[in-house]
Structures are given as structure tokens and as C-alpha cells.
Amino acid sequence: MRGPIYSGLGVLYSKEVSDHLRSKRFMIILVLVGIICLSSIYSAGLGIREAINKQSDDFIFLKLFSSSGDFIPSFASFISFLGPLIGLSLGFDAINGERARGTLNRLLAQPIHRDTVIIGKFLAGTSILSIMVLSLGVAVAGLGIIMTGIPPTFEEIGRLTVYLVLTVIYIGIWYAISLMFSLVFRQTATSALAGIALWLFMAVFVGLLAGIIANGLYPVNNNPSIETVLKHESLKQNLSRVSPLVIYNEAVTTILNPGVRTMGLIMSSQLEGAIAGTLPLSQSMLLIWAHFVTMAAMIMTCFAISYIIFMRQEIRAA
């Protein structure tokens, strides 16, 4: 039984990848994201040249991804903002679109298992996201080397690799969410709007609600004590981490900036006697290991829900 299952999965996977690569939607997303991100790299490169002239050449290559120009945000900021839209746009009609076109019935009529369909679509979508992110990362790295004339060190290559993996997982979360919504909602427009609404809530309102709840439990008005301030900031930060956007930004900041040693509130007394320096990649990975696990758990949870819904749904011929 294992042979036919994996054979069907391979055929379906190839078909889904081919459909994505040949779709106009994929080309539009790739061109749009490429133009915006390359423009941010160009703007950051101009500022980095000035830093090189001032003999400030520590981790110059990483600053291509984290530095912003006068009017253009950094590459990492663009990916943080546009990443959810990429994931949502690739998967909002993965199942209900097939159902509306009447192709889902014909697909399930083939000698393949039902779970092969949902697994193949998920693997194909994540593969497309990986190709897109890695291609864009290599293109940006090449442009940065041309602009600055400084090749990356092994430490910078390692950090860049971790950053790209983080980005694939981050966008993969939103793809898994869109795949789940394509099963929950029958109409493609409804699933797309639900995904956008969730993205806006996670990007804007989670931080506001976290601040309101933290201020209600631990108010910081009228000369609060240090203990109250610490509890307020700790609660606000923990509540904000419900959003994948916050988790991703914390992890990216730690990886692209080796000088980051902690992600919590730091008191001035804790900085007394501290020696300025940077962390090796292994220590930075220890700081963001929980972020890695959390984002991976989000993907697996969304996919598990999608799997259960799809296996229990009744699919009738139109």
C-alpha cells in the first residue's frame, strides 16, 4: 500500500508546483516583492557605503537586510509586512477554488487517497514559498556584494541562512492559515477576506490589546514602582507574542543584529560594568530557539486542523 500512496503524492505535488509556477498570480507576487525589496537594498547600500568610509565595518553584509534608507524601510521590514500577504494569496483558494471549478470531484475520483490531496497541496505551497524566499535572498546578497564590494564572512552566511529559514517558516504560517480558511469557507472571497482580517488583527490590534490589558492589571501612571513596570512590560510582551508578526520580528532582530543579547526589558543597573560586544551565532540561536519552536507549532496546528476538516468533509459531485 505504501508504493501507490507515495506515487500519487509525487504526481499531485508536481502538478501543484507546476500550477503555481505557471500562474499569473505567482509572477505578479514575485515581481512586486522583488522590486520593492531590491529598492530597499539599494537604499540601504547607499547608507552602508557611508559607514564603510567611516571605518564602521562590523557585520556590513547583515546591515543590507536590516538597515533602512531615508524613505524606504529595510528588507526585513518589507518581508515582515508583505510575507503574510504572500502566504495568504497563494492558498486562499487552494480547496474551495477547486470545489467551485468542479475539479475537486474529478481529482478525488482518481486512484489516490484523500489525505494525499491536502498533503500534496501543503507541500507544494511551502516549496514555492521556499523557492521564492531563497531566490530573493540570493539575489539580494549578490546585489549587496556588488554594491559594497565586501564578501560575507562565514558568520554572516550562517546568520543569513537562519534568517531565510525563519522567513520561510513565517510565511508558511500564513499559507497554512489560508489553506485552513479555504476549507472552512466555501467562497474564495470569504476565505481571502478572513485571512486579511486575521493579518490586520495580528499586525495592529494584538499590540493595542496587549497594552490595554497590561495597563489595566499593572498601571504605570503616577510614578509606579520598578516591580510594577517590569510586570507591565513582561505581560505586554508575552501577550503580544500571540501574533506571529511579533515572534518573527524578535527572532529576525536577534539574528541580523549580533549585538542583541536579550529580548526583554533591561534596567540601567544591569548595564553597569557590562562589556560591549557581539554574540556568536550559537548563542543567538539559543535566544530564538523558542521562537523557532513556536512558529513551527503554529504551522503544524493549522495543518492538523486543515487535515481533520478535509478528511471529514463530504464532497459531492456538482
34 is a domain residue: yes
Q: What is the DSSP letter of 68?
A: -
Per-residue pLDDT, 300 = 94
Q: Which amino acid is at 136?
A: L
Per-residue pLDDT, 181 = 93
Could you list the residue range(s) of the whole structural domain that residue 215 is in? 2-267+276-312
Per-residue pLDDT, 55 = 47
Contact 77, 102 (CB under 8 A): no
Per-residue pLDDT, 65 = 81
Can you tell me the distance from the alpha carbon of 104 to that of 106, in angstroms, rounded to the nearest whole number? 5
Can you tell me the distance from the alpha carbon of 231 to that of 233, in angstroms, rounded to the nearest whole number? 6
What is the count of structural domains for the chain?
A: 1
Mean pLDDT, to the nearest integer, of 193-209?
91
Measured CA to CA in angstroms, residue 121 lies from 8, 42, 97, 228, 301 at distances of 12, 36, 13, 48, 16
pLDDT surpasses 70 at 44 = no
318 is a domain residue: no
Element (H, E) at 7: helix 2-22
With bands split at pLDDT 50, 70 and 90, how would you rate the model's confidence at 318? very low
Per-residue pLDDT, 298 = 94
183 is a domain residue: yes
80 is a domain residue: yes
Contact 210, 239 (CB under 8 A): yes
Helix axes 24-53, 2-22, angle to 10 degrees: 70
Mean pLDDT, to the nearest integer, of 144-156?
81
- Out of 190-199, 260-269, 302-311, which region has the weakest mean confidence (pLDDT)? 260-269
281 is a domain residue: yes
